[in-house]
Amino acid sequence: MEPATSRRYVITFSCPDRTGIVARIAGFLADAGAWIVEAAYHADADQNWFFTRQVVRADSVPFDADELRGRFAEVAAEFGPEATWRVTDTGEKKRAVLLVTREPHCLHDLLGRVSAGELPVDITSVIGNHEALRDVVTAHRVPFHHVPFPGPRDERRESLKLEAFEEVRKLVDEQEPDAIVLARFMQVLPAHLCEQWRGRAINIHHSFLPSFAGARPYHQAHTRGVKLIGATCHYVTADLDAGPIIEQDVIRVDHSDTASDMVRRGRDIERLVLSRGLRWHLEDRVLVHGNKTVVLR
């Protein structure tokens, strides 16, 4: 169990920028006796938008997280209906569901990090549209659910795919996860699920977006003769591979690398980028405004 002195309340807040925001929040926290251990701010001059993340020691506040939410709601209301905010409690461990196909590298990495205590999350289940990764998942004592999807030549492909996604939705929603991670799932979520899971569905794309969106990006990159390849962790939206970007990284390649070399080397970047992006999401460091993110770390 988390020691009392390490439990935190995390407040994230964004609103149209103006003077006095920092003073108002700081005054509210001071009046509550809150001991601030982390504070980050960003003002976007182009959009005239303000962002902040405040972390306080839970044991310094003389009431629980629910009451803190109620009191902070009154502060947030002062900054207009466009303001967005959250209060989370690190004493309540976040939950995630992973969606997978056959590629094991991101799954291995996330399960290993959770097992080692490096990611603050409970993986409540893994859902795969193939059986290939069941043994990996069950070895970590995580439930695995197989939901088959139709093949490309199936005459009823579209209707069967919708039925499969409905089964996936039911399995996910009954677990009420804080994150739905497409760990190389390789299936395009229908628009209604993108909307329902907005801000929680996280994808790893094996390209430095917006370059080489869609299928086989390493092969696209090889054909183009690029000198850098990368990976992008982003929130899922109905626009394919175009959701708000959480994290990206690159690795250098050259003319001697084949497409297979790029795939192999790119997997290392995918692991790192996905684990970083997921961690920042779980730690409430990612604030979304429009189709952009601010990552306060």
CA 10 to chain centre: 17
CA dihedral 71, 73, 76, 81 (to 10 degrees): -160
On the 0-12 / 13-18 / 19+ scale of CB atoms within 10 A, 153 is exposed
Structure tokens at 268: 């290392």
Return the SS3 of 117. Answer: coil
Question: Which residues share a beta bridge with 38?
Answer: 55
Does residue 44 sit in helix, strand or coil?
strand
CB 55 within 8 A of CB 34: no
Determine the Cα angle at 35 with ends 33 and 38, to 5°.
145
Cα 53 to Cα 14, 119, 285: the distances in Å are 9, 20, 7
User: Catalytic pick from 178, 241, 257, 284?
Assistant: 241
Q: Confirm whether 241 is a catalytic residue.
A: yes
Catalytic residues: 241
